[in-house]
Amino acid sequence: MEIPENVKKRLSLPFEENFYAGHTACQGCGAALGLRYVLKAYGKKAIFTIPACCSTIIAGPWPYSAFNAPLFHTAFETTGAVISGIEAALKAKGYKVKGEDGIMVIGWAGDGGTADIGLQALSGFLERGHDGLYIMYDNEAYMNTGIQRSSSTPYGAWTTNTPGGKKHFLERRHKKKVIDIVIAHKIPYAATASVAFPEDFMKKLKKAQKIPGPSFIQLFAPCPTGWRSPTDKSIEIARLAVQTAYFPLFEYENGKYKINMPSTKKEPKPIEEFLKLQGRFKYMSKDDIEVLQKWVLHEWEELKKKAEVFG
């Protein structure tokens, strides 16, 4: 497809598609959109490792692939270790890894595969300082197995193993701050991103390519199927997650915090605006919402302070 110059100017997104249609993601899938962006950013010169997760299916069963880049499917908890091995092999064979024209070694794992079962391998990858990028696409539950809670599921959410019911058995623990655990490794670059803000995401992907050492991006990726939300609302929900400061976009670069969104000058939007579009929050009482709102604002204040002190 020929792209007119004026369009190219208006869009900082590359037009080349390396993620192909015909994939088997659900309607309105945030993870699929995230993959499309990542494959746009790096073109073919990226090696992907995907553990057990929705993307195993999205990428396609044998003999299909939606990727125009090399892809290795691996076991649930091994993403961090496999990308470490791939990076070591590339270095042993004399390839350039990362940097402008280097090969990108990418782990693409869900929140369960990152925050829960894959946390140890992730920690190893970060601590050893491999030149790679780990992207956690966060849809806040085990979606591929049929919507079970993960440690990244937020307070008050319905899942199939926190099903609400008469006894009001909902998720009662707050979302695990995986990004803080990652930052505790003092890696050169960590960031949060959202499929609702592709240009911001693209910038972060480019930074992750440029900065040597391990990089980590936590990508907010709505799941209409698991969140019981209308398929057309995926982007709107992701945008509201940022605007309510439920999922603020920020970067941690060489020890410095930088908040990208929402504005630190204004009060974030109330959390209800984010919650009301999703069926998974419909069991929450007013008190529940209050608990979540308090937590969101507390975390937001904490992040702002970090950005103030270590900005």
Partner 1 sequence: MAESPFKADIERVEKEYSEKMTPGAIVYLPGSSVINKTGSWRVFMPEFHKDKCVRCYLCYVYCPEPAIYLDEENYPVFDYDYCKGCGVCANECPTKAIVMVREKK
Partner 2 sequence: MEYKPIKKVISGNYAAAYAARDARVEVVAAYPITPQTSIIEKISEFLANGEVENLQYVPVESEHSAMAACIGASAAGARAFTATSAQGLALMHEMLHWASGARLPVVMVNVNRAMAPPWSVWDDQTDSLAQRDTGWMQFYAENNQEVYDGVIMAFKVAETVNLPAMIVESAFILSHTYDIVEMIPQELVDEFLPPRKPLYTLTDFDNPIAVGALGTPADYYEFRYKIEKSMEEAREVIHKVGKEFGERFGRDYSQMIELYRTEDADFVFMGLGSLMGTVKQAVDVLRSEGYKVGAAKVRWFRPFPKEELYELAKNVEGIAVLDRNFSFGQEGILFNEAKGVLYNTDAHPLIKNYIVGLGGRDFTVSDVKKIAENMKGIIEAKKLDREVEWYHLKR
| Token pair in block for residue 153 | 């599921």
**5 interacts with partner 1 by CB under 8 A:** no
Return the one option of partner 2, partner 1, none that residue 234 interacts with (CB less than 5 to 8 A, by type).
partner 1
Q: Nearer to partner 2 by C-beta: 81 or 136?
A: 81
Q: How far is the CB of 307 from partner 2 (least distance, A)?
A: 31
Q: Does 145 bind partner 2 (CB under 8 A)?
A: no
1-9, 104-112, 117-125, 179-187 -> range binding partner 1 (CB under 8 A): 1-9
User: Using the rule CB under 8 A, which residue among 9, 10, 22, 92 binds partner 2?
Assistant: 92
* 249 alpha-carbon distance from chain centroid: 11
Residue-wise over 191-228: b if at least 16 C-beta within 10 A, else e?
Answer: bbbbbbbbebbbbbbebbbebeebbbbbbbbbbbbbbb
- In the complex, the smallest distance separating the C-beta of residue 205 from partner 2, rounded to whole angstroms, is 18
Residue by residue, what is the 3-state secondary structure of the chain?
CCCCHHHHHHCCCCCCCCECCCCCCCCCCHHHHHHHHHHHHHCCCEEEEECCCHHHHHHCCCCCCCECCCEEECCCCCHHHHHHHHHHHHHHCCCCECCCCCEEEEEEEEHHHHHHCCHHHHHHHHHHCCCCEEEEEECCCECCCCCECCCCCCCCCCECCECECCCCECCCCCCCCHHHHHHCCCCCEEEEEECCCHHHHHHHHHHHHHCCCCEEEEEECCCHHHHCCCHHHHHHHHHHHHHCCCCCEEEEECCEEEEEECCCCCCCCCCHHHHCCCHHHCCCCHHHHHHHHHHHHHHHHHHHHHHHHCC
**Interacting residues with partner 1 between 128 and 147 (CB under 8 A):** none
> What does 95 interact with, of partner 2, partner 1, none (CB < 5 to 8 A by kind)?
partner 2
User: Does 89 help bind partner 1 (rule: CB under 8 A)?
Assistant: no
Minimum separation from the CB atom of position 35 to partner 2 (A): 13
Residue 284 and residue 290: Cα distance in Å, rounded?
10
Shortest Å, Cβ 50 to partner 1: 13
- Determine, following the binding rule CB under 8 A, whether residue 204 of this chain makes contact with partner 1: no
Residues 18-77 that bind partner 1 (CB under 8 A): 19-25, 27-30, 32-33, 36, 60, 62-69
Site for partner 1 in 164-183 (CB under 8 A): none
Stretch of 25-33, 84-92, 227-235, 290-298 contacting partner 2, by CB under 8 A? 84-92
- Interaction of residue 151 with partner 2, rule CB under 8 A: no
Kindly tell me which residue out of 128, 174, 207, 233 binds partner 1, with binding defined by CB under 8 A.
233
**Which one of residues 33, 34, 40, 78 is an interface residue with partner 2 (CB under 8 A)?**
78
- Total of chain residues touching partner 2, rule CB under 8 A: 46
Under the binding rule (CB under 8 A), the answer on residue 103 touching partner 1 is no
The residues binding partner 1 (CB under 8 A) are 1-4, 6-7, 10-11, 13, 17, 19-25, 27-30, 32-33, 36, 60, 62-69, 198, 224, 230-236
